[in-house]
Chains A and B, each alone.
Chain A
Amino acid sequence: MSHFSELDFSTLVALAAVFCALSAHLSVKLARLRRRTVQLKTANDLLKEHYTALQKVVDHPTIPEKYKERLLHFSEIISDEKAFADLLQQVVQEDLYRDNEAKGYAKNLAQLRAQDPDLAEAFSSAVRSGVAAMMLRYPSVEEILESTMARVYAAPRREGAVFAGAMRKSRSDHHNDHDHLAVAPA
């Protein structure tokens, strides 16, 4: 008790303040680490879903070669961090869903759905899960993810827009002039 009465009260308050500040700082840091871990685990699950859907589409015996190739190139584009960040910026800033490629994607997907609903669902799932996985995978796209992309991507037409952007990027990378998945509207 004697020690307590001898203690300078301001020192005690200062110590408590430093202790609380340090504790809060470390707690925030730990929470950030934990959040990142959850993001990475979710990204891994979604990436596995993308992989399974990709395998289902590519290994399907009746699917046309151009569908396979486009989906593989799409997967390749979104796996590149810089290309993916550019693609997301492009999708957010431009109205890519009005692009012919995006319209063609929707049209072809509808045709595929009429022929084989499971396959069309796998195709769509490969696109969606791939984009969602990479959004959580790369910290550089976190700002886009948190600000606008999650809300924007909820619109179904954006799926076609992302696909169209990736195809545009793929064409500019490979300099190929093959016929692509898109069908120009009449």
Chain B
Amino acid sequence: MAVFNVIDHQETGSGGDASYSKSSIGTSYDHLYFTASTRISTSAIYTTQYIEFNSDTGTNYSIKSFYAIGSNNYAGSNHSGNNINYVYAPSATADADIFGSLEVWIPNYANTDNYKQALCTWGFANGSAANNILGTTAGLWMSTAAIDTFKLAAGSGTFDQYSTYTLYGVNGAT
């Protein structure tokens, strides 16, 4: 069996999308890997995106983020959040044609014994020192359920046209 398998790929059209979501994810892989190239319509330099699993909007997420805006470093955390946030994307007042990069690893997503960890790496350079932003966010979903639905949503506004999303199932050695 191939190591990397495309589960789903989508691109936002001209009307924008509030979120990307993939349901009915099988349990046949060892890990999930997600990449996106996104921009958000909100009138700001950057806006957070957030991740949810299995449509769970309860206070079942814990996150820790380390990021830089320009030359300043910041840390963010939330130990009873409704989702995994602190995952920023360029928005309407960022330079034109700038889309941010995001990748997310979700190891052992289908196990039913442990809570699920997600490691998110994201960022973009923006042509303005004060508004460049990048960081890493560790997210914990405090559920032992197998992940069968993955959602990435704009914190406000919608994802712009040409935003792309790809979800992979990744296998180890058999």
The finding on whether chains A and B are genuine partners in a shared complex, rather than unrelated, reads no
B contact set with A: CB distance below 8 Å: none
